[in-house]
Structure 1
């Protein structure tokens, strides 16, 4: 399998998050205790992120302290996990006009939080600790309504907007800089085993409710319109729409995942991909 690129760490991301936390704690005293515990009491993003994942996923079966230790172990073994989280935060800031600061996705956006929990589960899966990886997946699904198999490979700089109802199968691969909205499914087409899930290229935009099924490739910078069902490969830079999905235009644009442009061309080709 090809290796996904990990976006380099940018220390200023942590500084921006801390600054937003300090200002919010000042103007919203009711939240000061929470903000101090989750962000301001920590020296770096890795420490704060492990605390945040632990406070969300910890339960009576696997307490927050135990979850945090697992996260720390993963971050120490693979610093790329935290670098990817930084890239994810920057992606939200770039693509979501509703946010005010990095504090919102870090504290409240379940798409971002589910993705970071998955990154730890994926590391566990790679270590052969499959049962604990499944525990993380189960908690993530229960809490965030985002169900990503621990074996699925997720790139950096991802934006899971709203998050609710996203399902990603075991052998799926999602490239860097992808944006997907609620209700997206990257699934199989039957009960076959083996490599059976989609491969999503870099910079792809997957609209709300899009279903991409089978071991097919969605090329770099392609766009899948909301509500579409895609059963065949999509060329790089193209837009598809409909049930079953049809080519709308090629090229779709330089970076649809960054612009979050969900509009479609007026002319639809008269053949199914």
Structure 2
């Protein structure tokens, strides 16, 4: 089997990273060095995952391939696929960097880049979906489906390859998340675990939710049908949403209803769970 070292050379040579990706790479390398120094038992892992690579794109491609390879498509084969996607669609790298910044800024349990890059299921699943999305739109449907299946099996996250995902997205925990084929998730959205962005099961075509910028979706929420959740909205934990949600409002309950007053912030960025009005918390 041929080596793909030459392919990865394109990612560190001809491929010019965005300023955001370059900054993330500097932080990632610094944190990997510090982790190795603090615990020598981690030195080999830090070298393999981060420090032996020449760029954020290289390290990310290797991490995705390592997580999702199996006996059907091994690491080298999958790595070659990922490299092709990253070279042809460099916005994937910029989006991944924005996702890591989002996690560092919004997750109170994490103040670094290294841990989500290595271990967070939501982050890794989203980057795998970005590769599958590229494959889907280049008529490599079965390979995209294969990646979707592997992401679901390994990481417990099921995002259809055709779903359109923005950047600066935090999939907190990730476990049990399901996002359907015609769903749209815009920039700066935060989604907690066990959320479904699904269809009602009755219709075909464009049948999944459109989540606009800066939305916060609480754990266990179900948003069903081709409905819009407006910019800056909050969806309470465990809610079932079957009607459109106006911008800058909060909805809770089964079925979900508007509660409290409108607000002006983007809760997907601020992670502010409280609702102005009755004693509701997302």
> Alignment partner for residue 140 of structure 1, among 151, 161, 165?
151
Q: Report deviation, 1:267.
A: 3.7
**How far off is 1:130 after superposition?**
0.5
Q: Does 1:39 align with 2:33?
A: no
* Counterpart pick for 1:156 among 156, 163, 167: 167
Show the counterpart of 1:189. 200
Residues 217-238 of structure 1 deviation map (CA, whole Å, 9 limit, x = unaligned): 0001111011100000011111
Q: TM-score, normalised by structure 2?
A: 0.90
Deviation at 1:131, TM superposition (A): 0.2
- TM-score w.r.t. length of structure 1: 0.93
In structure 2, C-alpha distance between the alignment counterparts of 1:90 and 1:166, rounded to whole Å = 21
Q: Are 2:73 and 1:62 equivalent residues in the alignment?
A: yes
2:3 is aligned to: none
Name the structure 2 match of 1:264.
Answer: 275
2 CA distance for matches of 1:77 and 1:51?
Answer: 17
Superposition CA RMSD, Å: 1.3
Whole-Å Cα distance in 2 between the matches of residues 213 and 249 of structure 1? 22
| 2-structure distance, mates of 1:32, 1:10 | 24
Query: Which residue is equivalent to 1:221?
Result: 232
* 2:248 matched residue in structure 1: 237
Measured in 2, the distance between the counterparts of 1:252 and 1:211 equals 22
Q: Secondary structure at the match of 2:44?
A: helix
Asked if 1:50 corresponds to 2:61, the answer is yes
2:126 to 89, 92, 115: 115
Q: Which of the numbers 141, 166, 174 marks the counterpart of 1:130?
A: 141
Equivalent of residue 254 in structure 1, options 226, 251, 265 = 265
Q: How many correspondences in the alignment? A: 262
- Secondary structure of the residue aligned to 2:20 is coil
Q: Distance in 2 between matches of 1:256 and 1:213?
A: 21
Unmatched 5+ stretches in structure 2: 1-17
Render the CA deviation track for 1:111-139: whole Å, top value 9, x for unaligned. Answer: 00000000000000010101000000000
Q: Does 1:103 align with 2:103?
A: no
Contact 1:124 1:132 in 2 (8 A): yes
Residue 247 of structure 1 and its aligned partner are, at CA, apart by: 0.3
Instruction: Please list the CA deviations of residues 157-203 of structure 1 after superposition, one character each: whole Å capped at 9, or x if unmatched.
Output: 00000000000000000000000000110000114210000000000
Match of 1:207 in 2: 218
Q: Does 1:76 align with 2:87?
A: yes
For structure 1, the 5+ residue unaligned runs are 1-6, 269-273
8 Å CA contact retained: 1:223, 1:252: no
Structure 1: distance between partners of 2:94 and 2:37: 29
- Deviation, 1:10, is 4.2
Q: Deviations over 1:11-33 (max 9, x none)?
A: 21110010000110111111111
Q: Take 2:189 and 2:125, find their aligned partners in 1: how far apart are those partners? A: 15
